[in-house]
Amino acid sequence: MHALATLIDLAVTLFIYILIANAILSWLVAFNVVNPQNPFARQVGYFLYRVTEPVLAPIRRILPDLGGIDLSPVILIVILIVLKNLILVDLLGYGQFA
């Protein structure tokens, strides 16, 4: 049971890091720090977009338009942390609060 809990913890943590990397890369592209025409930057951006967009798109549809501010990654990270703690701590007795 602890192996399953560790796997869930690792998967959620890895996805949170991917969300943060996607947000940071989008800021770097928006402020012209990273050139999106660079092949490596384009591939990294494409990978991050393809991994995160299926989860972020429904949240973006629900949120009101806030101009240029996208809060969907923050909301998704909060939801993932709450779900991870609910699953790991309450159901399996595993995690930082156990």
Domain boundaries, the chain: 2-91
Contact 78, 13 (CB under 8 A): no
Comparing CA positions, the residue from 90, 98, 80 lying closest to residue 9 is: 80
Q: What is the pLDDT of residue 96?
A: 56
Cα-based torsion angle of the residue sequence 75, 79, 85, 88 in order, rounded to the nearest 10 degrees:
-140
Digits of tens for pLDDT over the chain (98 positions)? Answer: 677 878 888 999 999 999 999 999 999 999 999 999 999 999 999 999 999 999 999 999 999 888 888 899 999 999 999 998 888 777 676 555 54
